[in-house]
Amino acid sequence: MLAVMICQWMGALGLFVGALITNQTDPLGEFAEGLILALLSAIGPLVAILFCTRLLSLPSTLAGLTARQLLVFAGVGALLNAVPYNIYFYLSGRTSHPLDGIAPMFFGDLLGTLVVLYVASFVLRLAVKRSPV
């Protein structure tokens, strides 16, 4: 999420390439599956950023984000990651029910994203306070 917030579509491209590389560590794994998982890794955060920016009427620079808005970004991002992945896992036969892994993945993504976004926000606020005007 942070990569896309900072670098927009280039961040999503970076997520895609990184996921494509790391998904291909299994020499017996199918390239098509790695490609699908990489696309899901990149598209979810990109759609979440675009959706939340419009929903919250924010500028494309995302300047002045509040703690509540960061929570919205994290929640939408977690949802747009967990649901497509779990649908794919169900359709590919990895799970027996499409809702099996949504809750753990959603809450893991939500908590992880919140930690990263709030730490980044804190660091940026410190940097802005210390920078000469």
pLDDT at 29: 64
Domain map (residue ranges) of the chain: 2-130
65 within 8 A of 2, measured Cβ to Cβ: no
Q: How far is 110 from 108, CA to CA, in rounded Å?
A: 5
Residue 72's pLDDT is 94
pLDDT digits (tens, 9 = 90+) for 85-116: 999 999 988 888 888 889 999 999 999 999 99
Could you report the per-residue pLDDT of 2-39, keeping only the tens digit for each?
Answer: 899 989 999 999 999 999 888 765 556 677 888 899 99
**Helix (H/G/I), strand (E/B), else coil: 63:** coil
Residue 23: its pLDDT value, please?
Answer: 77
Q: What percent of the chain has pLDDT over 90?
A: 52
Cα distances (angstroms) measured from residue 36 to each of 4, 9, 42, 90, 107: 19, 18, 10, 14, 22
Report pLDDT digits (tens) over 32-85: 888 899 999 999 999 999 999 999 998 878 877 888 999 999 999 999 999 999
CB neighbours of residue 22 within 10 Å: 12
